[in-house]
Amino acid sequence: TLYKKELEVGTGSVTVTAGGTTTLNLASTESIKTTIWQIGIPDGTPSGFLNADKIETMHPTDSRMSAWGPVTYTIGSSSASSFPMAHIRTTSSFAGGRPTITVNSWSSSSPAAPTKIDSRGVTRGTWRGYNLVYEYSIPSGTLVAGANTITITVISGSSGDAFLSPNIVYDSVELY
């Protein structure tokens, strides 16, 4: 498996017999796209996001953590360090938490609950899990010239808004 930091970007398989050697050439299978804007780096970690530098040594309720939100992030003027690494309400997810988006007045369909990510990682000092990429196709005409509002919420079959409620951890957010 080929990784970009902690994000799987390529795989391959090989058979090696006892005493033998072999070569496997791996290349990234990441798609090449024209990015309009991006928050964070797609590498399987929340590096650079708000509180990401503290999550391994502090509980999310620690008073030394910055406030988690809600956050209004403005493309072009806000820094990635003002975007929280985790969405507390619903690289890791807990209680079937997964993102859904609203763009202006359009709302995405709800993705299926993740099958391999159900971790209290955020409250035990890690973001590591089974990385999933969620992609949403925004219909033509939804984005308009000027200001647009994109809202990311966490959906789940569970409820709550405390730290053991459904949640997700961000790697990056991108519009392309």
Residues 87-140 pLDDT 10s: 543 345 666 778 889 999 999 998 887 766 555 555 555 555 667 788 899 999
β strands within 5-59, DSSP E: 7-10, 37-39
Which pLDDT score, from 0 to 100, does residue 103 have? 95
Q: Does residue 113 sit within a domain?
A: yes
Say if residues 91 and 127 touch (Cβ distance below 8 Å): yes
Q: Does residue 19 sit within a domain?
A: no
Q: Does residue 13 sit within a domain?
A: no
CA neighbours closer than 13 Å in the CB half-sphere of residue 151: 10
pLDDT of 144 higher than 90:
yes
- Number of domains, the chain: 1
Q: How many CB atoms lie within 10 A of CB 168?
A: 28
pLDDT digits (tens, 9 = 90+) for 9-34: 999 999 999 999 999 999 999 888 89
Q: Does residue 80 sit within a domain?
A: yes
Tokens of 57: 């040594």
With cut-offs at 50, 70 and 90, classify the pLDDT of residue 150.
very high
Which pLDDT score, from 0 to 100, does residue 14 have? 92
Location of structure tokens 């089974």? 130
List the domain range (segments joined by +) for residue 40.
33-176
